[in-house]
Amino acid sequence: MLSKYFPCKTIALAIVALFSGCAVGPDFHRPIPPAIGGYTAQPLPAKTSAVNVAGGEEQRFVMGMDIKQKWWALFKSPPLNELIEKSLKANPTIDAAKAALRQARENVSAQVGFFYPTVQASGSINRTRDSGTIAPVLNSGAEPYTLHTAQVSVGYAPDVFGGNRRQVESLRAQADFQRFQLEATYLTLTSNVVATAVQEASLRSQIAATLSIIQVESEMLDQLRRQFELGYVAGLDVAAQEAALAQVQQTLPPLQKQLAQTRDLLAALAGRFPNEELEEKFEFAALSLPQELPVSLPSKLVEQRPDVRAAEEQLHSASAEVGVAVAAMLPNITLSANLGSTATGIGQLFTAGTGFWSLAGSVAQTVFDGGTLLHRKRAAEAGLDQDEAQYRSTVIAAFQNVADTLHALQADADAMKAAVAFEQASKLSLDLARRQFELGYVNYLSLLSAEQAYQQAVINLVQAKTNRFADTAALFLALGGGWWNGPDLASAVLTTTPVGKPN
C-alpha cells in the first residue's frame, strides 16, 4: 500500500531521504486547461446589432483582448470611478479578506519553524534537606543545602519522510487560496458597485418616465372632465381615465422604494451607514456603453478567474494532505541533547566538576492503532478526489458563465433594437390616436389602448438599456476582471514576509 507514496524501500535509506528531500505522497501538478477553442457552440459574431439611440451602440467582440484592471473606467463615469475607489478603501469585506490572507501566511511561517531544532534554556533553585537513610547527601555533608541548576536542551525531529514538507506545502496552498479569495473579493465588490449604479440609473429613468406618463394622463383627465361638462364625452370615459391615472400612479411608490434601497446598498458597498448620504448619483445620460468587449482565449480563462485559481489551490492543499497522512504512518525519529551545570552556589555554575550532558535519539513506529492512521490516509485521498471534482465543476461553471454572458449581450442588443422600434411605433400610434380622438374619429377606448401600449414601451426600453449595461459589466466579471494587470494585493497587505523553507 505504501509503495505508491513511499519510494524509499527500507529504513536504511532514511538518511538518504533526509538529505535528498524525499517527501511521501503525490507530487502536485497543475491541471491542464481544457482543450477547447471557444465558449459557444456556434461561432461568436464579430459584433452585436445596433440602433441609433443612446445605449444602443454596436458592441464588438475582440478575441484575445486583454482586460484593464480598472475595467469600470470604460463606462466613462467619474462618479462611478470615485465611488469604486471609496468602496475599495472602506468596505469591511476587503479588510476581512486581507486579514485572512495575513493569518494564512503566518500559519505557513509557524509550520516552517518545525524544520529547525527547538532550543530551550531553563534554570531552577532547590532548597533540600535529606534524611540520609534512602537518599544521598552532599559530599560535604551540609544540611540543608541549595542546588542551582542551569541547562540548555535541544530537540530536533528530522523530516525524514517529508511529512512537515507536505504540511508546509498544504498551508502554502491555503495561503494562495486566500490570496485568490482576496482578488475575488475585490472583483466582486467592484462589479457589485457597477451593477448597483446601473440599477440606480435604470430606476431613475423608470421614475422619470412614470412621472412623465402621470403628467400626460393628468392632462388627459383634465381635458376629459372639461369635455364631460360640455357633454362631448360620457361619464364612463372620465371614470376610465381616472382609473388609468390611478393605475400609473400606483407603479410609482414601488420604484421609489427600490431606488431608496439601491442607494442604501451603494452606501453599504462604500462602507457607510444608510444615513450617510452619497455624493454620487447615477443616470444613463452620464454612463457610456463600452463598444469594444474583450473575449479572453479559453486557454487563459482558468488563469484569470480567481475562483478557478482558488479551487486549484484547494486541490493542491488536498494533494499535500495525502502526503501528511502517509508520513504519519512511517517511523518518527527524534534527536535530543542536554547541556548544563549543577552547583550549590550561583557563582559556582559552569565551573569544573559541575557540568553534565546527555545525547539521545529515538525511533517510534506505530504497530497497532485500530486502523486510525490507515483510515486517515484514505480520508485524505477521498478529500483529494472531492477537490478534483470540485475543481472540474468550478472550471465548467466558469466557461458556462462566460457563454451565458456572451449570449445575453447578443440578445440584449436585439432586444434593445426591438424595444426602440416598439417605443417609436407606440409613440406615433399614441400621437395619431390623440389627434383622431380630438377630432372625434375614434372613441376614448382606442386612445386609452394606445396610451397603455406607449407606457409599456417606455418601460421596456429602459429595461432593455439596463440589461445591456448590466451584462456588459457581467462580462468583465466573468472573464476575471483584469486583476493580473493591477498591483500585487498579496504583497501590499503583508506586514511580514513568511520565512522560506530551509535549503
User: Per-residue pLDDT for 351 more than 70?
Assistant: yes
Task: Give per-residue pLDDT as tens, 281-338.
Answer: 999 999 999 999 999 999 999 999 999 999 999 999 999 999 999 999 999 999 999 9
The whole-number pLDDT of residue 133 equals 62
Task: Give per-residue pLDDT as tens, 149-167.
Answer: 999 999 999 999 999 999 9
Give residue 8's pLDDT band: very low, low, confident or very high (50, 70, 90).
very low
Parse the chain into domains and list their residue ranges: 60-493
Between residues 139 and 272, the one the model is more confident about: 272
User: Per-residue pLDDT for 230 more than 80?
Assistant: yes
The whole-number pLDDT of residue 468 equals 96
User: Per-residue pLDDT for 499 more than 50?
Assistant: no
Cβ distance 312 to 124 under 8 Å?
no
SS3 339: strand
The whole-number pLDDT of residue 126 equals 86
Task: Give per-residue pLDDT as tens, 20-44.
Answer: 457 899 999 999 999 888 999 888 8
Give residue 253's pLDDT band: very low, low, confident or very high (50, 70, 90).
very high
Cβ distance 35 to 297 under 8 Å?
no
The whole-number pLDDT of residue 496 equals 44
**Which helix or strand (DSSP H or E) is residue 126 part of?**
strand 118-128
The whole-number pLDDT of residue 329 equals 95
Distance from C-alpha of 319 to C-alpha of 381, rounded to nearest angstrom: 8
User: Per-residue pLDDT for 105 more than 60?
Assistant: yes
Beta carbons within 10 angstroms of residue 442's beta carbon:
17
Percentage of the chain beyond pLDDT 90 is 72
Mean pLDDT of all residues in 420-432 = 93
User: Per-residue pLDDT for 17 more than 60?
Assistant: no
C-alpha torsion sign, points 356, 361, 367, 372:
positive
Give residue 494's pLDDT band: very low, low, confident or very high (50, 70, 90).
low
Cβ distance 63 to 293 under 8 Å?
no
What is the pairing mode between strands 145-156 and 118-128?
antiparallel
Between residues 412 and 19, the one the model is more confident about: 412
Give residue 7's pLDDT band: very low, low, confident or very high (50, 70, 90).
very low
The whole-number pLDDT of residue 131 equals 65
User: Per-residue pLDDT for 58 more than 70?
Assistant: yes
Which three three-digit cell numbers place residue 67?
A: 482586460
The whole-number pLDDT of residue 57 equals 94
Spatial neighbors of 176 by CB under 8 A, at least 6 apart, are 309, 313, 316
- The residue whose grid cell reads 482558488 is 310
The whole-number pLDDT of residue 70 equals 95
Give residue 344's pLDDT band: very low, low, confident or very high (50, 70, 90).
confident
- The residue whose grid cell reads 381616472 is 242
Task: Give per-residue pLDDT as tens, 125-137.
Answer: 988 777 666 666 6
Distance from C-alpha of 174 to C-alpha of 110, rounded to nearest angstrom: 14
Choose the CATH number for 60-493 among 1.10.260.40, 3.30.70.260, 3.40.250.10, 1.20.1600.10: 1.20.1600.10
Percent helix / strand / coil, the chain, rounded to 5: 60, 10, 30
Which three three-digit cell numbers place residue 303?
A: 488563469
Distance from C-alpha of 217 to C-alpha of 228, rounded to nearest angstrom: 16
The whole-number pLDDT of residue 1 equals 39
The whole-number pLDDT of residue 101 equals 96
Q: What is the mean pLDDT of the chain?
A: 89
The whole-number pLDDT of residue 347 equals 86
pTM: 0.86
The whole-number pLDDT of residue 444 equals 77
